[in-house]
Every structure is written in structure tokens, then in C-alpha cells.
């Protein structure tokens, strides 16, 4: 099964080479890596030119969602992954993902666990997640489907599930929620697939409040019943649903041992 990786890029030259190398280090036989760059001015082009295997472009776009859509339309793999320019894959990730999709033809999106790392790549925290739960995804406002550890079949894109370019900070939440509500089948794999980098220039660091606002916008756009409630009633209902989602996730994490490192839980790690 061929794997396509799409990387949106804008002025992330200190990390881009690490991301590209993490794809090469998979030693997977059929892989293409597409980088869509938004006219970076920090040396990114020099990094891109140093990897002749890449398919890349550097031209103006309308934001990260637009760049991703450009790459998704170009992707020719049976399986597609989204890797931001400042993140990286862990060893054996592709082999594991391909095997799961091969053995489970009904699955359309597979996501694993991930690690938070700092600007120097030092591990800050390991995030082990629960099995997919639509109720928690909708109402908790903690996106537990991590983009660098998520892979989907090409047919999901063929069915029209591209990102909404009007979202700039919670585009992944809106995308996954829209997919799930549209019947796309998700599954969690208890393996560490990727590192998510936290650094001063990351969106997670700079715009957490805008991300939460867009998550609320996406939820209301995709949940007509909630949107039609009077504002004061809706606020009370939202608070209750968020509390219920938080309690459900806590119970699931405790039941699944997600707060502890289990000896049987093999990790793709450096």
C-alpha cells in the first residue's frame, strides 16, 4: 500500500528537515512526501532543494487548510498522513499503519498515540489516548485525535472530505468531526506514532483562545439542534455536555490504563 504524506509549510526551516528525515527513516517501500509551502523566507527553500525525492511547491496560499487541501488533492497514495513541518514520525509507524489498514478494510481513519516534545526534541509528555468516541470528540473541546498520528484512506478524500478553508486554528477538529458525523469509521491504535512539537512559534502556543473559539464555531455549525437553542439555554447545555464528556473520557482513560505506562503497550520511540 502506497503512503502519501502531506506537509504544509511556512517559515519552519529549523524543523522541516527533521520532519522530512522522519519520513525517510521509515524505510517504507512506497511513499511520497508532498510539501506545500507558503512562500517561506527563512531558508525553507534551501531545505526543500536538499531533498530531491520531495514533491513540493512554494506559492501563496490562503492558509494552512488551503495548503493541506492542495496537497491532499495531489496525493496518490492508498493511505494519507498529515505531518506539520515542525512535527516528526517515530520509527516503524508506516509499517504498523499499513498493516492495520490491510487487515481491517472497513477502517477509514486510524490514529495512534503521540509525544509532546520541545523545540530541541526533548520529550515533555507522552499522550496515550482512548478509543474513538464521537460524544467526547464533539463536546469535550480537547482534540484527542492527534493530526501527526492520524492516517486515512484515499477514498475519504475522494468522497469529498477536504478541510474547510475558513478555519485557521481548529481546522483539524472541524475536519474530524465532519468526517465522523458523515459516517467515516475511526479506530485508535495503542502505539506511539509521532512527536508533536511545542515551541514559541507554534499555533498551539500562540493562539489557544482562537482555537477554542473555532472549535465552538465548528460544533455549532455541525450540530443544528444545539445551535437553535436560545443563547442562555445553549450555554447551560454546553457546560453540562462538556462535563459529561470530561467524566466519560476520564473513566475511559482509567479503564484503559492510559494514565500509566503498560509493559504490553509497545511504543514506536526513538
Lowest mean pLDDT segment, chosen from 15-19, 37-41, 72-76: 37-41
Residue 263 inside a domain? The answer is no
Residue 260 placed within a domain: no
Q: Is residue 83 part of a domain?
A: yes
Q: Return d(Cα 106, Cα 128) in angstroms, integer.
A: 24
Q: Which of 17-31, 107-121, 190-204 has the lowest mean pLDDT?
A: 190-204
Grid look-up 492527534 returns 146
**Mean predicted lDDT score pLDDT of the chain:** 91
Number of domains in the chain: 1
CA pair distance 196, 117, nearest whole angstrom: 6
Question: What does the pLDDT read at residue 201?
Answer: 67
Is residue 270 one of the residues assigned to a domain? no
Residue 269 scores a pLDDT above 50: no
* pLDDT, mean of residues 209-224: 93
At residue 110, the 3 state secondary structure works out as strand
Which residue range forms the structural domain that includes residue 27? 3-255
Stretch (H or E) spanning 199: none
Can you state the angle between helices 171-181 and 208-222, rounded to 10 degrees? 20
Residue 205: count other Cβ atoms within 10 Å of its Cβ. Answer: 10
For residue 259, name the pLDDT band (cuts at 50, 70, 90): low
Answer yes or no: is 72 within a domain. yes
Residue 223 in domain: yes
Give pLDDT tens digits for 135-171. 999 999 788 999 999 999 999 999 999 999 999 999 9
Q: What is the DSSP letter of 113?
A: E
Residue 181 forms part of a structural domain: yes
Does residue 64 lie within any of the structural domains? yes
We report the CATH number of the domain holding residue 10 as: 3.90.550.10
| DSSP string for residues in 127-182 | E--PPP-HHHHHHS----S-GGGEEEEHHHHHTT----TT-SSSHHHHHHHHHHHT
Contact 22, 96 (CB under 8 A): no
- Beta strand 186-197 with 109-117 is parallel
- pLDDT for the residue numbered 256: 76
Amino acid at each position: 500500500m502506497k503512503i502519501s504524506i502531506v506537509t504544509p509549510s511556512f517559515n519552519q526551516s529549523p524543523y522541516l528537515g527533521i520532519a522530512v528525515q522522519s519520513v525517510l527513516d521509515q524505510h517504507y517501500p512506497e511513499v511520497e512526501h508532498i510539501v506545500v509551502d507558503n512562500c517561506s523566507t527563512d531558508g525553507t527553500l534551501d531545505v526543500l532543494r536538499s531533498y530531491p525525492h520531495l514533491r513540493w511547491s512554494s506559492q501563496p496560499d490562503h492558509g494552512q487548510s488551503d495548503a493541506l487541501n492542495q496537497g491532499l488533492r495531489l496525493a496518490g497514495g492508498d493511505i494519507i498522513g498529515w505531518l506539520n513541518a515542525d512535527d516528526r514520525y517515530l520509527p516503524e509507524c508506516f509499517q504498523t499503519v499499513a498493516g492495520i489498514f490491510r487487515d481491517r478494510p472497513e477502517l477509514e481513519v486510524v490514529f495512534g498515540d503521540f509525544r509532546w516534545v520541545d523545540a530541541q526534541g526533548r520529550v515533555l509528555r507522552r499522550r496515550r489516548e482512548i478509543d474513538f468516541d464521537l460524544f467526547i470528540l464533539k463536546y469535550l473541546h480537547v482534540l484527542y485525535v492527534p493530526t501527526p498520528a492520524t492516517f486515512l484512506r484515499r477514498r475519504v478524500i475522494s468522497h469529498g472530505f477536504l478541510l474547510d478553508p475558513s478555519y485557521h486554528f481548529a481546522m483539524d477538529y472541524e475536519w474530524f468531526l465532519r468526517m465522523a458525523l458523515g459516517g467515516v469509521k475511526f479506530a485508535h491504535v495503542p502505539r506511539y506514532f509521532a512527536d508533536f512539537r511545542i515551541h514559541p512559534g507554534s499555533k498551539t502556543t500562540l493562539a489557544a483562545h482562537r482555537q477554542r473559539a473555532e472549535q465552538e464555531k465548528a460544533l455549532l455549525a455541525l450540530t443544528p439542534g444545539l445551535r437553535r437553542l436560545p443563547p442562555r439555554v445553549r450555554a447551560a447545555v454546553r457546560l453540562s455536555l462538556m462535563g459529561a464528556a470530561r467524566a466519560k473520557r476520564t473513566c475511559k482513560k482509567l479503564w484503559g490504563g492510559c494514565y500509566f505506562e503498560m509493559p504490553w503497550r509497545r511504543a514506536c520511540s526513538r
